[in-house]
Structure 1
Amino acid sequence: MSAASPRSPATLEQPGEGRLAHAGADHPPVPRKKVGVVLANLGTPDATDYWSMRRYLSEFLSDRRVVDYSRWLWQPLLQGIILTRRPFISGKAYQSIWNTERNESPLLTITREQAEKVAARLEAAFGDEVVVDFCMRYGNPSTDSVIRRLHEQGCERLLFFPLYPQYGSPTTATANDEVFRTLMTLKWQPALRTVPAYFDRPDYIAALGGSIQQAYEQAQADQGGRPDVLVASYHGVPERYLLDGDPYHCQCQKTTRLVKERLEMADDEIVTAFQSKFGPEKWVGPATVDKVAELARAGKKHIAVISPAFASDCVETLEEVQQEIRDAFLAAGGETFTYVPCLNADEAHIDVLTAIVKQELGGWL
């Protein structure tokens, strides 16, 4: 594979880290050229205690892509009021889903497994020409540390892959921002490509459809019936983001439509809703917690919920959907609640992620 890529005039004497052929004896070792692939997810606290949660939430909620209010108004409110109470509430939510065996959040566990499986697929195709790693926008492993580690390993070209099927300013854009900030500090910048949204790729829609069919078949076997309605619950954003040109809301709607067409569902068998509202302003809707209660009051006794905006199960799915939203449905008269897991490290999902990486590496390998 390395023969397909032109090498610089000063080449290494042998594979692996070594001395440049025409460099002086005091020249530092130079690693062999490689291509780096980084899978990026939202983030995770290091632990569920107050100070770990406060550090994580402070980083997350201080991001201007996430909360773009004036700093002189927002920061006193955030640091003085919100972060006094919020770490206790969020810590309790994380405690209910925490991976106690590895002492880490499920998001970290799943993202690592995704990276390992993609790495194995790419190694089978390209040998050791490609190095795969993963990072978090907030928390650890940080984007900065992973980019620097790959750079030190000789990755002169980097493919950065935000694991968000739908593009959003508070998700995809801020993940890319963090890479660019690291590159601004490097004397020798690697070439960089970022992966675009993949919400309408046929293989991604097929993977979603397969996971839904599997969940429905399991519900039929375990509960004696299929769900009456599938709720596609996406993370919400303020409505003004849509009005300002952020395509996220529209891409969510298209994902739902493509899933409906893939599974040949009737219009009343699938609905789109948005969860995780934060703050006082108007967000895109309907709110998932309200929608599931409305469905229960309308006589829908069995619903399923899937979260297509998340590549990995996390606190928003394992705690918010499976606990808070489930409770809202049952309290309003619903009887059976089926959660369709995120695609996580399912083989069909790894096929999709690997196919995207290979496509975006075109011309580099």
Structure 2
Amino acid sequence: MSTVMPFENAKPAAEAAPERVGVLLVNLGTPDTADAAGVRVYLREFLSDPRVIEDQGLLWKLILNGIILRVRPRAKARDYQKIWNAARNESPLKTITRSQAEKLAADIADHDHVVVDWAMRYGNPSIQSRIAALAAQGCSRLLVVPLYPQYSAATSATVCDEVFRVLAGMRAQPVLRVTPPYYDNPDYIEALAASINMHLAALPFRPEIVVASFHGMPKAYVEKGDPYLAHCMATTDALRKRLGLDASKLILTFQSRFGNDEWLQPYTDKTVERLAKDGVRRIAVVTPGFAADCLETLEEIAQENAEIFKHAGGEQFAAIPCLNDSVGGMDVIRRLVLRELQGWI
């Protein structure tokens, strides 16, 4: 006759190890090298994306391959060389995004089954290579974090397109989540305001006007339903309220237009030129649409637009850094990630 052991003497079953979770930070992209050859490879991938240039017809292909990729890489390479991180032989965007991933991993290190990595939508490290790396580490769940505060099809959506394309080729797909845009998130607005106030206080002059410059977009994309303009306006409105500035003191503009189509206005370069001609002598420019400093902020704003302003009669110009991997910037990313990981950790 068998003997039944008392319940209190039974050994508890071993708890199953938690599933590993991958967190993938994704930013826009960068050439691998600051020369015409490296920029050409990058521009070909970027400008061949139908989310970026929606009309990928024969005429565009002729323009892209016959003109743009023959002429533009050399000029843009000179711009990249002005801001290139020579010590690491990479763009600042890559340096900063790597640091954001490393700091996020340290911030959430108590969740030892979470693996943090980073990728670029265009260029390297590619989304495909990093998803493969996370899968190889046993991550059966994946949180993708597009580092764009404001949603647009040309940024956030194309990250998802590429993630879906990669997953379509996987037999054992991870469970997927994607963080939403955070254009009006209170943590983001507070971090922006604190950063702006800190940098303004450190300036040797007091700006008469603060310009909030966002990356531009063809006007037609918004007319087709892209919410990007509404998100940029919401960010700017929230910043005005938080900083106590009215629309005449914190103005919204758009930079980096490309081609002959009408883009969202007012244009940043035309605005800083007009301000100087109207007698404004001191301005500061903040770029709330960028999570990390890059060519568009370090060269186009801090150098090119500063020159435009001073050439038109302006005297003092300050480019306020992005949140980057600052304490405030990392707090925004950490809170966003932990919120979206609820139920997984």
- What range is the shorter-chain TM-score in? over 0.9
2:47 to 61, 75, 79: 61
2:297 is the counterpart of 1:311: no
Query: What TM-score comes out, normalization by structure 2 length?
Result: 0.94
Q: Larger deviation: 260-269 or 201-210?
A: 260-269
2:317 to 327, 337, 343: 337
Q: In structure 2, what is the Cα distance between the partners aligned to 1:345 and 1:243? A: 34
The aligned counterpart of 1:242 is 222
Letter in 2 for 1:154: G
Taking the TM superposition and a 5 Å limit, the aligned residue runs for 1:60-99 are: 60-99=46-85
2:261 to 274, 281, 289: 281
Offset at 1:51?
A: 1.4
Taking the TM superposition and a 5 Å limit, the aligned residue runs for 1:98-113 are: 98-113=84-99
Q: In structure 2, what is the Cα distance between the partners aligned to 1:71 and 1:330? A: 41
Letter in 2 for 1:252: C
**Alignment RMSD:** 1.5
Q: In structure 2, what is the Cα distance between the partners aligned to 1:262 and 1:13? A: 48
Letter in 2 for 1:81: I
What stretches of structure 2 of length at least 5 have no aligned partner?
Answer: 1-13
The aligned counterpart of 1:142 is 126
Q: In structure 1, what is the Cα distance between the partners aligned to 2:76 and 2:276? A: 28
Offset at 1:267?
A: 2.6
Offset at 1:72?
A: 1.6
1:217 to 201, 213, 217: 201
The aligned counterpart of 2:5 is none
What stretches of structure 1 of length at least 5 have no aligned partner?
Answer: 1-11, 16-31
2:143 is the counterpart of 1:159: yes
Q: In structure 1, what is the Cα distance between the partners aligned to 2:193 and 2:34? A: 34
Q: In structure 2, what is the Cα distance between the partners aligned to 1:359 and 1:339? A: 32
The aligned counterpart of 1:20 is none
Change (3 A) 1:226 1:152: same
Q: In structure 2, what is the Cα distance between the partners aligned to 1:239 and 1:14? A: 53
Partner of 2:172, secondary structure, is: coil
Change (3 A) 1:152 1:331: same
Count of residue pairs brought into register by the alignment: 333
Letter in 1 for 2:335: A
Partner of 2:84, secondary structure, is: coil
Q: Is the 8 A contact 2:48 2:56 kept in 1?
A: no
2:255 is the counterpart of 1:269: no
Q: In structure 1, what is the Cα distance between the partners aligned to 2:267 and 2:301? A: 12
Q: In structure 1, what is the Cα distance between the partners aligned to 2:50 and 2:246? A: 40
Taking the TM superposition and a 5 Å limit, the aligned residue runs for 1:12-51 are: 33-51=19-37
The aligned counterpart of 2:210 is 230
**Cα shift readout 1:340-364 (whole Å, capped 9, x = no counterpart):** 1000000011111000001001111
Q: In structure 2, what is the Cα distance between the partners aligned to 1:45 and 1:187? A: 31
Change (3 A) 1:261 1:14: closer
Q: In structure 1, what is the Cα distance between the partners aligned to 2:276 and 2:15? A: 70
Letter in 2 for 1:197: P
2:305 is the counterpart of 1:325: yes
Q: In structure 2, what is the Cα distance between the partners aligned to 1:51 and 1:268? A: 44
The aligned counterpart of 1:205 is 189
Query: What TM-score comes out, normalization by structure 1 length?
Result: 0.89
The aligned counterpart of 2:339 is 359
Q: In structure 2, what is the Cα distance between the partners aligned to 1:146 and 1:85? A: 32
**After TM superposition, what 4+ stretches of structure 1 lie above 3 angstroms from structure 2?**
12-15
Q: In structure 1, what is the Cα distance between the partners aligned to 2:246 and 2:208? A: 11
Offset at 1:14?
A: 9.2
